[in-house]
Amino acid sequence: MGALGLAFTTAGCSGSDSDSASSSGKASITFWGWAPGYADAVKAFNKSHPDVKVTYQAVQPGAKGGYQKMLNAVKAGNAPCLAQVGYETLPSFAAQGALEDVAEYASPSKGEFQDAAWKSVTLGDNVYGAPVDTGPMALFYNKKVFASLGLKPPATWAEYKTAARKIHASDPDRYISSPYMDYDYAGLAWQAGADWFGVKGDAWQVSMASAANQKVADYWQGLADEGLISGAPMYDQAWYTGLGNDDIATVVGAVWQAGVIKGGAKKSAGEWAVAPLPQWSKSGTRVGNAGGSATAVLKGCDDPKAAWEFAHWLSTDRDTFGALVGKAALFPAAKGLLNLEQFTAGDPYFGGQKIYEVFAAAAPKVDSAWTWGPLMTKTAADLDDGLGKAWGGKGTIADALRRAQDKTLSEMKTQGLRVAE
């Protein structure tokens, strides 16, 4: 499959002046990002790599302006060599011709990373950067509530529904879960093999309204229709309150949700635990993913070899990534880092449970077939509009997916992207 056939523009730009060989012969590259700890990581790299100098510049998080700044810089011909780009956004950058193919340097490292993470930085035979972190999903549950009702962590989604009914029956203000939106909801579809996008030849496929997606939508719609889902939006203060006062008994979420729960429901320390994600069948093993980013190489980089050298190092150096775990709560895409000491200790908030063992076991089970679309910012916005209404009883989740698919297809054709019939 030719990745260029998926693009609607081609950025024929030269690299910025800072991303080239210096007068001393040392390679000099610039890196834009926002994750806590990246500045210190760059300092450590420069100390240990005398032939490459990396200059780090902090920018606004992608959705808050960082991505547009990167795209503008590519168009102007003065972009940095490297940029922090979320997996869900990387195909959008590729579609706009904003990424540099570094397969020549990167391909030998493919086996070092989780399959799903590597898939997230590739399009066809092209490799656009190094995977940094991932967001394998699991079930966070209030073990105090579960124990009081004689419940065990559900192994299947059918058991999850049974638990939901018992939990809500115990208290009308108590719910199993909350509304899931955009990329959190995508993780639920991901686990079920309900793909949203694919590639056929050199054209995009959109399948958000597929039978597989209908199955996932109907399941969560059923929970909502029974009144088992809290009305508190995730990350809203009402959500944090519900987590802290036992009114919201579970969070189906990615590894980074551990920090969110700990920070937002501090008084519930010792009450929560983590279990593997419920499966669609008793023999199922699939896991969904929510989150993760890459160190992407932008179009026009004058020294893609040096850019890859740093990007690979950032993702695989044990000491550096260990520090990023503490500063940015990153969970590694590199297979060799799953046994970092930061992941082997018990977490006091979770009653001493070694919660990262659950995520380390889940990471290889993330379905690597998932593909993000080329217009995810718009797709996610359109989906959220429909999901918000559906969770509130106005329409259905299936309707939200269908409308998001229709709007995405329309926009793709408007922008000149090839779409498979």
**Percent of the chain clearing pLDDT 70 (strictly above):** 94
How would you classify the pairing of strands 272-275 and 137-142?
antiparallel
Extents of the domains making up the chain:
3-134+292-343, 137-289+369-414
421, pLDDT greater than 80: no
C-alpha pair distances (Å), 307 with each of 50, 100, 304:
14, 10, 5
Separation between Cα atoms, residue 214 and residue 194, nearest integer Å: 9
Report the pLDDT averaged over residues 228-233: 97
* Predicted local distance difference test score (pLDDT) of residue 5: 47
- Extract the tokens encoding 63: 């959705």
Residue 207: pLDDT over 60? yes
Rounded Cα–Cα distance for residues 68 and 375 (Å): 13
Q: Say what percent of the chain tops pLDDT 90.
A: 91
Domains 3-134+292-343 and 137-289+369-414 equal at CATH topology level: yes
Most distant CA pair in the chain, distance: 73
Full-model pTM: 0.92
CA end-to-end distance (rounded Å), the chain: 17
Give residue 4's pLDDT band: very low, low, confident or very high (50, 70, 90): very low
Band of pLDDT at residue 407, cut at 50, 70 and 90:
very high
Structure confidence at residue 45 (pLDDT): 98
In whole angstroms, what is the distance from residue 314 CA to residue 35 CA? 12
Distance CA 327, CA 330 (A): 8
Reported confidence tier of residue 71, pLDDT bands at 50, 70, 90: very high
Burial class (CB in 10 A: 0-12, 13-18, 19+), 75: middle
Mean pLDDT in residue range 365-377: 95
265 closest CA partner among 276, 250, 254, 252: 250
The reported pLDDT for the residue numbered 260 is 95
Tell me what pLDDT residue 202 has: 87
366 DSSP assignment: B
Q: Spell out the residues 6+ positions from residue 43 whose beta carbon is closer than 8 angstroms to its own.
A: none
Q: What is the mean pLDDT of residues 113-136?
A: 97
Residue 133: closest CA among 286, 306, 327: 327
Pairwise CA distance, residues 23 & 264, whole Å? 51
Instruction: Give the model confidence (pLDDT) of 5-52 as tens digits.
Output: 465 444 444 444 445 554 456 899 999 999 999 999 999 999 999 999
pLDDT the model gives residue 259: 93
Single-letter amino acid code for the residue at 128? Y
- Mean pLDDT within 209-230: 98
In this structure, which CATH number among 3.40.50.1980, 1.10.760.10, 3.40.50.2300, 3.40.190.10 belongs to the domain 137-289+369-414? 3.40.190.10
> Which residues neighbour 99 within 8 Å (Cβ) at sequence distance 6 or greater?
90, 93, 126, 128, 129, 296, 297, 298, 299
**From the candidate CATH numbers 3.30.70.2660, 3.40.190.10, 3.40.109.10, 1.10.3720.10, the one assigned to the domain spanning 3-134+292-343:** 3.40.190.10
How high is the pLDDT of residue 26?
A: 86
Average pLDDT over residues 269-293: 97
Residue 270 has pLDDT above 50, yes or no: yes
Of the candidates 315, 321, 329, the one whose C-alpha atom is nearest the C-alpha of residue 118 is: 315
Residues 198-221: what's their mean pLDDT? 96
For position 13, what pLDDT does the model report? Answer: 42
Q: Which two tokens stand for residue 195?
A: 């793909």
Average pLDDT, integer, range 123-134:
96
Q: What is the pLDDT of residue 20?
A: 57
Q: Do residues 357 and 377 lie in contact, with contact meaning Cβ atoms separated by under 8 Å?
A: no
User: How does pLDDT run across 330-367, given as a tens digit for each residue?
Assistant: 999 999 999 999 999 999 999 999 999 999 999 999 99
Instruction: Report the C-alpha gap between 98 and 272 in whole angstroms.
Output: 43
CA separation for the pair 380, 186 (Å, rounded): 9
Nearest to 178 by CA among 394, 407, 391: 391
Q: DSSP readout, 281-338?
A: STT---B-B---EEEEEBTT-S-HHHHHHHHHHHHH-HHHHHHHHHHH---BSBGGGT
